[in-house]
């Protein structure tokens, strides 16, 4: 967790500003202190500082990442980090849960209001925990489930043999069209009629377009299946009004809180009031025990931020930037799966520049451009690149910078592994990234 000199100063309660808070009697130091960490554990402080520098000096294009606000980070480093609170507000297995109850009530109420959901469970430790809890609530071992195949952008929790989901349930994969990269709804319907799944899962780690939630609902209804939407990626855009909401269509929506949504690392579940009790029991006590109450508090802060006009404006800029970046890459000969994007996310095929996804990721990394490789929809194992525009948008970059980023990416791909060229590009990347310090003026030392 980033710790800052500003937080250190306020934790000490020093600095002679005429603030009322500063005139309160000094309380024992509590809260994150970069200075205390550096004194006590220089080794680990050095590791964290190197990470801080890496984040600040490179271009962060990992589509699942973002920069949480100082307010969100403060909640993460709050006294609730030390609190045990198994159970739900008003019914805990531990004493002293008054503040924890209040924080969770606020977080859940804000999530319900933000997404128009009858019920919100804000306790899942992660997106994966939320998905597994949704399965636990709605499925029995061995049930048939229809989900996007892993080679077409499905998540591990959508039936990978390397994941608990693949062991417990009988998954069948639908695919994206190898020509267009779009979900093949006719195939989804055909497979649904054939296997009669207990649940249909809609969600992907690399789908750059809006899923047609109404089509998924119709198919689910036709075969009597439940519809589970794993909206881990687009939920932040949904919060800002920049993507259609799955909430009116899905039986349950699983989500993360740390991607475009820009909150703490964590998960959540949204459903109708009729499923509330089943969902809650599936999270606690079935798949988790003590919720991370500091994270729950930080989720409340993030939901508060997401309800503002500033946040809507940010999600609009995220999509605008992703489109500008996709356009810039296409101009330089990079293939763009589906021909563009509706979201924060781009799937690019660098093959026309003579390099595959894995080598491309390494060449970009050498230049300080950080992103992921991902499956391309051709179904033949070829890999491409996944880029996201959320973090750079949070930093304040706009379309002119996206043009520069596209040019830097193309240069890094074309120059290949030559160390001199990579070092030169790295300098240009550092210059661009450093001109957009995240939360300029609010985080000391940047």
Ligand X SMILES: *Cc1c(COP(=O)(O)O)cnc(C)c1O
* Positions marked active-site: 84, 86, 230, 256, 259, 265
Does 294 bind ligand X (CB under 6 A)? Our answer is no
Which is closer to ligand X, CB of 64 or CB of 191?
A: 64
List the one residue from 165, 256, 295, 393 that touches ligand X (CB under 6 A): 256
List the one residue from 69, 121, 128, 163 that touches ligand X (CB under 6 A): 128
Does 175 bind ligand X (CB under 6 A)? Our answer is no
Find out whether 154 is annotated in a ligand binding site: yes
Contact 364, 409 (CB under 8 A): yes
Minimum CB–partner distance for residue 443 and ligand X (Å): 24
Which is closer to ligand X, CB of 255 or CB of 432?
A: 255
Does 126 bind ligand X (CB under 6 A)? Our answer is yes
Does 203 bind ligand X (CB under 6 A)? Our answer is yes
Does 243 bind ligand X (CB under 6 A)? Our answer is no
Q: Which of 59, 47, 51 is nearest to 367 (CA)?
A: 59
- Residue closest to ligand X (Cβ): 127
Which is closer to ligand X, CB of 7 or CB of 319?
A: 319
Does 394 bind ligand X (CB under 6 A)? Our answer is no
Does 229 bind ligand X (CB under 6 A)? Our answer is no
Neighbours of 43 (CB within 10 A): 6
Rounded CA gap, 202 and 229, in Å?
A: 5
Binding segment for ligand X (CB under 6 A), chosen from 132-140, 228-236, 269-277, 357-365, is 228-236
Does 127 bind ligand X (CB under 6 A)? Our answer is yes
Minimum CB–partner distance for residue 40 and ligand X (Å): 30
Find out whether 274 is annotated in a ligand binding site: yes
List the one residue from 103, 108, 131, 405 that touches ligand X (CB under 6 A): 131
Query: 5 to 64, contacts with ligand X by CB under 6 A?
Result: 64
Does 104 bind ligand X (CB under 6 A)? Our answer is no
- Total residues binding ligand X (CB under 6 A): 15
Does 373 bind ligand X (CB under 6 A)? Our answer is no
Please report, as ranges, the residues that interact with ligand X according to CB under 6 A. Answer: 64, 126-128, 131, 155, 157, 203-205, 230, 232-233, 256, 267
Detail the residues annotated as belonging to a binding site for (6S)-5,6,7,8-tetrahydrofolate: 150, 154-156, 274
């Amino acid at each position: 967790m980033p710790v800052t000199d500003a937080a250190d100063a306020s934790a000490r309660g020093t600095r002679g500003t005429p603030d009322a808070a500063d005139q309160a009697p000094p309380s024992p130091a509590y809260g994150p202190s970069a200075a205390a960490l550096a004194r006590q554990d220089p080794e680990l402080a050095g590791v964290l500082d190197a990470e801080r520098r890496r984040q600040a000096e490179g271009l962060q294009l990992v589509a699942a990442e973002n920069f949480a606000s100082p307010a969100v980070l403060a909640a993460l480093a709050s006294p609730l980090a030390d609190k045990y609170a198994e159970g739900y507000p008003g019914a805990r297995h531990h004493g002293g849960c008054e503040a924890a109850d209040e924080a969770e009530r606020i977080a859940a109420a804000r999530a319900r209001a933000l997404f128009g959901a009858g019920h919100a469970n804000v306790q899942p430790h992660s997106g994966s925990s939320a998905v597994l809890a949704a399965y636990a609530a709605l499925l029995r071992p061995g049930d048939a489930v229809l989900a996007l195949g892993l080679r077409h952008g499905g998540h591990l929790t959508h039936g990978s043999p390397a994941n608990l989901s693949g062991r417990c349930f009988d998954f069948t994969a639908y695919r994206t069209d190898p020509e267009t990269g779009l979900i093949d709804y006719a195939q989804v319907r055909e497979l649904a009629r054939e296997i009669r799944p207990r649940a249909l899962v809609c969600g992907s780690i690399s789908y750059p377009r809006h899923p047609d939630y109404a089509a998924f609902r119709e198919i689910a209804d036709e075969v009597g299946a439940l519809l589970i939407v794993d909206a881990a990626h687009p939920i932040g855009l949904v919060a800002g009004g920049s993507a259609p909401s799955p909430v009116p269509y899905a039986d349950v929506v699983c989500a993360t809180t740390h991607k475009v949504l820009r909150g703490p690392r964590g998960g959540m579940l949204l459903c109708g009031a009729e499923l509330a009790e089943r969902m809650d029991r599936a999270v606690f006590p079935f798949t988790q025990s003590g919720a991370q109450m500091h994270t729950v508090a930080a989720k409340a802060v993030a939901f508060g931020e997401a309800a503002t006009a500033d946040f809507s404006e940010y999600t609009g800029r995220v999509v605008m930037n992703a489109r500008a970046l996709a356009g810039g890459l296409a101009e330089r000969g990079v293939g763009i799966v589906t021909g563009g994007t509706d979201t924060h996310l781009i799937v690019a095929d660098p093959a026309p520049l003579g390099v595959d996804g894995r080598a491309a990721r390494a060449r970009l990394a050498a230049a300080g451009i950080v992103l992921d490789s991902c499956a391309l929809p051709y179904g033949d194992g070829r890999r491409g690149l996944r880029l996201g525009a959320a973090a750079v948008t949070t930093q304040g970059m706009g379309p002119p910078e996206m043009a520069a980023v596209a040019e830097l990416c193309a240069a890094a791909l074309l120059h290949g592994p030559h160390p001199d060229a990579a070092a030169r590009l790295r300098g240009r990347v550092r210059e661009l990234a450093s001109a957009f310090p995240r939360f300029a003026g609010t985080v000391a030392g940047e």
